[in-house]
Structure 1
Amino acid sequence: MDTSTGPDTVIVGAGVAGLTAAWNLHKAGQAVTVVDPEPGMGASRAAAGMIAAVSEVMYQHTTMRTLMTTSAAMYPPLVAELTDLLGHDVGFRDTPTLDISAHPGDRDYFSALAEVQRAAGMTVERITTRQARSLEPALSPTISGAFLVSGDHQINPRRLVPSLIEALETSAAAGGPPFILLRRRAVEVLRAGEDATGAVTGVRLDDGTVITAGTTLLCPGVSLATVGGLPEADCVKLRPVHGDILRARLRPGRPPLLERTVRGMVDGRPVYLVPRTDGEIVIGATEREDSFDGVVLEGAYQLLRDAQVLVPGAADLELTEILARARPGTPDDLPYIGRLDGVDGLVISTGYSRHGILLAPLGGHLAAGLVLGTAPTEQDAGILAATDPRRTADPAVVDSASRDPSNGHRTPRERTAP
């Protein structure tokens, strides 16, 4: 089959990055087609959904800090507009987060991190373990320290993704710009010119369908390399960062275990428990770069063990899912949002690693602005300069980035932080 349609923008990838961009473009009046064989089933499917701009702060992480705080502030209006349109909850919870240390060494880590957070103007309240257990009685009586982070919240990606699709479909049906979701795989971009090296004019799908569009937005995560016809994308260096994550559920008749997200440290190992309103608790997550797509038993065991150190009652939960997904990592841990040299008609938005849900509103806003040609604000211009896909084209730039403490790169020790 070889047909042609003509949306204003075709988006490859129906995770949160692609769908938030689609929503922004749709609101701006654009006809949008999104292409993905399994919408929302990539990294977005596994994500716990912590909107944790404060708790995710790391040492020597200045640039990423700006992205995280900016994006976190964009969640409330996004949630409000989706809720108003759809008339139902989209998975957002504004309950605060507790940072809990299991042992004295873990407490020292959180104490030092709190100094960094406060120096950045963030609000982190040290509370006693008695106060923490008053807030969450299921916490172990042996915990050694606690911090309350009132500004860190959560959203359920498994509700957010279908809600974004529903919002796009609802708005289109009510007379808004056309929206089409195609459950197909994009195999290559189309190029203008006799030698097919000119502007990108759309995509070809795995069934032969051709979609022409004014702009093509690539948000495919780690599968970017499988999209042909774009040798210029060799500079977009991605690596799969796998994470094992568990989902559990309260057994019938049992009272809620937690109300707040618990982000913990157990002997230097991070673990978190994210409670949903329906009784589900997400337990995660490991971080490994071994290129293995399956679940690793050691990682699952570690999470189960450490979750029970902090919350002994977790042992009574029903284990419902063990999952692993590859998150798209970059050499300097910053995402790629921007254009490629000499390639008109194309925008790239990928490389969000483990911050994909947190950065979704900002990434969607910036990618849509590039597609629309909107003049960026001073802050947006600074972020776009830091996330320009061309920044890693030169190996010397990557080397410099890995040593530059201002660009968000984390040392191996810092990678163990929650």
Structure 2
Amino acid sequence: MDAPEIAIPHARPRTDYDAVIVGAGVIGLAVAWRAAQRGVRVALVDPEPGSGASHAAAGMLAPVTEAHYGEEQLLRLNLASARRYPEFVAELEEVSGTSAGFSAGGTLAVAFDSGDRAVLADLAEFHQRLGLASEPLTGRECRAHEPLLAPDVQSGLLVSGDHQIDNRMLIAALLTAIGRAHVQLHRERVAELLIEHDAAAGVRLADGRILHAQRVVLAAGCRSTSIPGLPSGVLPPIRPVKGQILRLSVPASAAPFLSHAVRGVVRGRQVYLVPREHGELVIGATVEEQGFDTQVTAGGVYELLRAAHGLVPDVGELPLTEVRAGLRPGSPDNAPILGATDLPGLIAATGHFRNGVLLTPITADAIAECLVTGQLPEEAAAFVPQRFGKELGRFAKKAAFA
């Protein structure tokens, strides 16, 4: 008699890499590209690459006009990343063969009334104290630079070194670049972070496949700390911060609409208008602590359009082509979390809040260096997860009782 057949459970397929990167926004894409350039065998995992906050962003590269009191350390990182952008873009465009949409047109920050003018004057003084380049302008001088500005604009600051990039063109160029660098892109959801021998060892995908790796990089934006299997307390919570943003079309008959990115304070509300060379105007963005809500609201759209119309009345004549809400990843101190965590094999590249696009070059270089040498460059050393110290333990306790 033949021996009975024994059913053997189907083994889940496993693939080995040097690094698995979870999340394919601009940060994850750029880290994958830079790491692959340095010989790292990289897998990138995201069900919809480039579709989150990176897709919704305005692409402002504005470390000076976005400088805030008490964030001087973050400002230095932002400035260092901004300095890298021209070379980063030139290399990316050469590799990808496509434009990344970089524009060096500068930024004009303007004030609408006397209260807003005082805010702008304080910002100018802050810039001067830190040695940042900005040129104070009268309202008339502002309109000489941008004729469509409202007569009520009272003053301004011209920051020639604050630029912009078309974030969607940047994503497309990075997707091409990682393909040519032989990065393996898995368009699938991560079902679990794998831990073996008390160290991160890869991920299991929703379709059952296992991607085994010596290092795992969490670059999943506001969902970085929601990955199943991530131990409590390894990272502080990354919260979603909602931002509603509008896109308008500029007809050829109205071009050029604006020559600079325009940032304004209108009755205490901040707004920016970012012109694209291909005939688009981006208006943004609200800052809302609403959890994972991505609904566009009438109130949010109204406030943005009202503020933009106050600065540039002709905005009211442009076709509205897109309204969208994205979720920025905010850390407890609103600064990025970079480098090795206390879980061996797990590296963070998240928490960039409003500066994800701006910090893309320096984050990519820093995490690639960390993957290759195990060390974070000095310029990024202040942003390690361990900076929160005992707070991580309290974060873990809060999570346990949530």
Q: 1:182 aligned to 181, 186, 191, which one?
A: 186
> Displacement, 1:394?
2.3
Change (3 A) 1:284 1:84: same
> In the alignment, is the contact (CA less than 8 A) between 2:252 and 2:279 conserved in 1?
no
In structure 2, the residue matched to 1:296 is: 297
Taking structure 2 as the reference length, what is the TM-score of the superposition?
Answer: 0.91
Q: 2:134 aligned to 86, 102, 124, which one?
A: 124
> Displacement, 1:345?
1.6
Runs of at least 5 residues in structure 2 that lack an aligned partner in the other structure: 1-10, 396-402
Q: CA RMSD in A?
A: 1.8
Measure, in 2, the Cα distance between the counterparts of 1:163 and 1:203: 26
Taking structure 1 as the reference length, what is the TM-score of the superposition?
Answer: 0.88
> In the alignment, is the contact (CA less than 8 A) between 1:251 and 1:316 conserved in 2?
no
Measure, in 2, the Cα distance between the counterparts of 1:29 and 1:395: 36
> In the alignment, is the contact (CA less than 8 A) between 1:236 and 1:390 conserved in 2?
no
- What amino acid is aligned across from residue 388 of structure 2 in structure 1? T
- What amino acid is aligned across from residue 124 of structure 2 in structure 1? A
In structure 2, the residue matched to 1:217 is: 217
Deviation digits for residues 189-237 of structure 1, max 9, x if unmatched? 11113xxxx2111110111111111211110111123312221455421
1:390 aligns with 2:386: yes
SS of structure 2 residue aligned to 1:137: coil
> In the alignment, is the contact (CA less than 8 A) between 1:263 and 1:270 conserved in 2?
yes
Measure, in 2, the Cα distance between the counterparts of 1:44 and 1:11: 16
> In the alignment, is the contact (CA less than 8 A) between 1:340 and 1:389 conserved in 2?
yes
- What amino acid is aligned across from residue 57 of structure 1 in structure 2? A
Aligned positions of 1:66-215 closer than 5 A: 66-170=76-180, 172=181, 178-193=182-197, 198-215=198-215
> Displacement, 1:114?
0.9
Measure, in 2, the Cα distance between the counterparts of 1:52 and 1:397: 35
**Deviates further, 321-330 or 267-276:** 321-330
In structure 2, the residue matched to 1:350 is: 350
> Displacement, 1:395?
3.4
> In the alignment, is the contact (CA less than 8 A) between 1:187 and 1:226 conserved in 2?
no
Larger Rg: 2
Measure, in 2, the Cα distance between the counterparts of 1:396 and 1:3: 35
- What amino acid is aligned across from residue 306 of structure 1 in structure 2? A
1:27 aligns with 2:23: no
Measure, in 2, the Cα distance between the counterparts of 1:213 and 1:112: 50
In structure 1, the residue matched to 2:14 is: 4
Aligned positions of 1:225-304 closer than 5 A: 225-233=225-233, 235-251=235-251, 253-291=253-291, 292-304=293-305
> Displacement, 1:181?
1.1
- What amino acid is aligned across from residue 33 of structure 2 in structure 1? W
> In the alignment, is the contact (CA less than 8 A) between 2:64 and 2:162 conserved in 1?
yes
SS of structure 2 residue aligned to 1:344: coil
Measure, in 2, the Cα distance between the counterparts of 1:252 and 1:75: 29
SS of structure 2 residue aligned to 1:181: strand
Measure, in 1, the Cα distance between the counterparts of 2:228 and 2:61: 34
1:338 aligns with 2:348: no
> Displacement, 1:396?
9.2
In structure 2, the residue matched to 1:360 is: 360
> In the alignment, is the contact (CA less than 8 A) between 1:7 and 1:213 conserved in 2?
yes
Deviation digits for residues 221-258 of structure 1, max 9, x if unmatched? 11123312221455421111111111111135332211
> In the alignment, is the contact (CA less than 8 A) between 2:150 and 2:310 conserved in 1?
yes
> Displacement, 1:276?
0.3
Number of residue pairs the alignment of both structures matches: 384
- What amino acid is aligned across from residue 231 of structure 1 in structure 2? P
